[in-house]
Amino acid sequence: MRRRDEADFTEFAAAALGRLRRTAYLMCGDWHRAEDAAQDALVRIYRRWDKLHRQDGLNTYAHKVVVSVVLDQARRPWRREHSTAEPGELPRPDGAGIVDDRQVVIAALAGIPAGQRACVVLRHYADLSIEETAQVLGISTGTVKSQTSRGLIQLRELLGERAAS
């Protein structure tokens, strides 16, 4: 790789790392796994850096890679979590009401299927369009719409159960 390309990649990686890490965290709910996923994604991007068109959807490609890494991590047998919590059980806020709502939403995100979670995160957190989300996930725009809709319905149900208790 040429020195200029190295500098361009370093600049891109510095700017994208935080965003990729947050997207990965919303996908998996674990900061350590998210850090690993973001770093693995940057390694994959680095390997293809010479072939990537930097003006045409580099951020979309980066999201595609980080989502792929998170989903790959989840398939590894040593990464599977064995939770003793009941499905859909969400953390309770403290009596003072200081608990950050993000933790409740992240726990609820973990309660929906991976495909729906990916669509919801990419559409509503990463602010990708339907077309960009479809490209990232390698699915049709109709599937993005239906998975996002179903994911939001399940999130509302999980968060509604949480608010009712």
Using left for φ > 0, alpha for ψ between -120 and 50, and beta otherwise, residue 136 falls in alpha
Averaged pLDDT of the chain? 82
Q: With respect to residue 115, please indicate whether it lies within any of the assigned structural domains.
A: yes
- End of a domain among 15, 50, 79? 79
Q: With respect to residue 47, please indicate whether it lies within any of the assigned structural domains.
A: yes
Q: With respect to residue 87, please indicate whether it lies within any of the assigned structural domains.
A: no
135: pLDDT strictly greater than 60: yes
- End of a domain among 53, 79, 105? 79
**Residue 42 domain boundaries:** 1-79
Same domain as 43, residue 109? no
Q: With respect to residue 88, please indicate whether it lies within any of the assigned structural domains.
A: no
Same domain as 103, residue 72? no
Mean pLDDT of the region 97-115: 78
pLDDT by residue (tens digit) across 117-126? 999 999 998 8
Same domain as 74, residue 128? no
How many structural domains does the chain have?
2
- End of a domain among 79, 114, 131? 79
- Provide the CB-side half-sphere exposure for 159 (13 A, CA): 14
Three-state secondary structure string covering the chain: CCHHHHHHHHHHHHHHHHHHHHHHHHHHCCHHHHHHHHHHHHHHHHHCHHHCCCCCCHHHHHHHHHHHHHHHHHHCHHHCCCCCCCCCCCCCCCCCCCCCHHHHHHHHHHCCCHHHHHHHHHHHHCCCCHHHHHHHHCCCHHHHHHHHHHHHHHHHHHHHHHHHC
Same domain as 69, residue 102? no
Same domain as 102, residue 74? no
11: pLDDT strictly greater than 80: yes
CATH number where 128 lies: 1.10.10.10
pLDDT at 85: 39
pLDDT by residue (tens digit) across 29-65? 888 999 999 999 999 999 988 888 666 678 888 988 9
Torsion over CA: 73, 124, 45, 8 (sign): negative
Lowest mean per-residue pLDDT among 34-48, 89-103, 132-146:
89-103
CATH number where 28 lies: 1.10.1740
71: pLDDT strictly greater than 70: yes
Tokens 């149900």 sit at which residue?
157
Do 144 and 128 touch, CB atoms closer than 8 A? no
